[in-house]
Amino acid sequence: ARELREVRVLHVDGDVARIDVDGKTATLADDNRFYVPVNLAVGRNTVKLTAYNTAGDLIDAHFVRVLVKSTFQDLPEKYWAKDVIEEIATVGLVNGYPDGSFGPKRQINRQEMTTLLTRSKGYDLNEKQPSLFRDVSVKSWSKKYINAAFSNGLVQGYPDGSFKPAKDLSRAEGA
């Protein structure tokens, strides 16, 4: 999802009277910096900066890469793994929960770990493949990750044909 974020242009050389960011005119503030709200997604973004002089002539134009880091409301600033969690979320290995939390003190379950491992391996996902386990619903968000991990020998189910996706991961299973 794209969110409105503010882009600040901190340093400008020459006689710059106006800067546009992706076609939106930035406002020159009292601190001599240009500010403009731009829709950016978490992860990699590219924006076009164009600078104009007082006569309205184009001075320069550049494409700039902007990385927007994922954040979670329940990660304290000094949490030991905060930076690593935010980095792996930014590149899409983890997503957190729909309420915007990460749950750093929660036990991880089998479907969550399988999803993390499948994403880290870069396995192809087949959305249309039926569930390979009797207790993984065809509508489950994790079905495609569980199927891919099982098909690639990364995980196993139980002898009764189940996967137990919501079961907390044991240390033995995690190893």
**pLDDT (0 to 100) of residue 13:** 59
pLDDT tens digits, 100-127: 899 999 999 999 999 999 999 999 999 9
**pLDDT (0 to 100) of residue 73:** 92
Per-residue pLDDT of the chain in tens (175 residues, 90 and over written 9): 555 565 666 555 567 888 898 999 987 777 777 888 888 888 889 999 998 888 889 988 999 898 888 999 999 999 999 999 999 999 888 988 989 899 999 999 999 999 999 999 999 999 999 999 999 999 999 999 999 999 999 999 999 999 999 999 988 877 7
Q: Are 152 and 126 in contact (CB under 8 A)?
A: no
